[in-house]
A and B are shown apart, each in its own frame.
Chain A
Amino acid sequence: MSPSGRGRTALATAVVLLAGAGAFLAETEGLRAFTSETARRLAVARSPRPLPTVVLRDDRGERLTFPIPGRPMLVEFVYTSCPTLCVTLGATFTRIQDRLAEAGAPPVLQLLSVSFDPARDDAPALRAYAEAHGADPTRWRVVLPESEADLRTLLEAFGIVVIPDGEGGFVHNAALHLVDRGGRLAAILDPDEIERAVEGLGG
Chain B
Amino acid sequence: MRNGHSPTDGRALGVIPLLLALLARERLEARLLTHLFVQFPLLLAAGALLAGPRLPARLVPWNRGGAAGLALAAVILAFWMLPRVVDASVGDGRWAFAKFVALPVAGAALAWSLPLAPWLARQFLALQTMAMAGATGWLYLALPERLCLRYLRSEQDELGAALVIAAVASFFFWLGQVLRAPAGEPTILRPGRPFPAEASA
A-side residues, CB < 8 A to B, are: 1-2, 4-6, 8-13, 16-17, 19-21, 23-24, 27-28, 33-39, 161, 163, 165-166, 171, 173
Docked CA distance A168–B68 (Å): 49
**Residues in B whose Cβ lies below 8 Å from that of A12:** 62-63, 67-68
A171 and B148 alpha carbons, distance in the complex (Å): 11
Does B121 belong to the interface (CB within 8 Å)?
Answer: no
Q: Which of B19-27, B35-43, B76-84, B184-192 contacts A (4 or more CB under 8 A)?
A: B76-84
B61 touches A24 (CB 8 A): no
* Pair B84/A35 contact, Cβ less than 8 Å: yes
Q: State whether A35 and B148 are in contact (beta carbons under 8 Å apart), knowing that A5-B64, A6-B64, A12-B63 are contacts in the complex.
A: yes
Q: Contacts A36-B148, A163-B151, A165-B152 known; A13 to B84 CB distance under 8 Å?
A: no
Taking A13-B71, A16-B72, A16-B75 as contacts, is the C-beta distance between A1 and B83 under 8 angstroms? no
A-B contact list, 7 entries, CB within 8 Å? A1-B64, A9-B65, A16-B75, A17-B71, A21-B75, A38-B84, A163-B151
Whether A33 contacts B84 in the complex (CB less than 8 A), given A13-B67, A165-B152, A173-B149, comes out as yes
Q: Dominant SS at the B interface? A: helix
- Indicate if the CB atoms of A171 and B152 lie closer than 8 Å: yes
Cα–Cα distance between A46 and B60 once the two chains are bound (Å):
45
A161 with B152: CB separation less than 8 A: no
Q: Is the CB of B150 within 8 A of A163?
A: yes
Q: Which residues of B contact A10 (CB under 8 A)?
A: 67
* A5 and B61 contacting across the interface, CB-CB below 8 Å: yes
Task: Note all chain A residues with C-beta closer than 8 A to B87.
Answer: 35-36, 161
Closest residue on chain A to residue B147 by CB atoms: A35
Set of chain B residues within 8 Å of A8, measured between Cβ atoms: 61-62, 64
B83 to chain A, nearest CB (A): 5
* In the complex, the 9 A-B pairs of residues with the closest C-beta atoms, listed nearest first: A20-B75, A12-B68, A161-B149, A9-B64, A5-B61, A36-B87, A36-B84, A12-B62, A13-B68
Given contacts A171-B146, A171-B152, contact A9 B201 (CB under 8 A): no
- Chain B residue at minimal CB-CB distance from A37: B149
B14 to chain A, nearest CB (A): 22
B residues less than 8 Å from A5 (CB atoms)? 60-61, 64
Contacts of B91 in A (CB 8 A): 161
- Contact check, B68 vs A34: say whether CB atoms are below 8 A apart: no
Question: Who on chain B is nearest to A28 by CB?
Answer: B82
Residue of A nearest to B61 (CB): A5
Given contacts A8-B61, A9-B65, A36-B83, 17 further A-B contacts (CB under 8 A): A2-B61, A4-B61, A8-B64, A9-B68, A12-B68, A13-B67, A13-B68, A20-B71, A20-B74, A24-B78, A24-B82, A35-B148, A35-B149, A36-B149, A161-B91, A161-B149, A171-B153
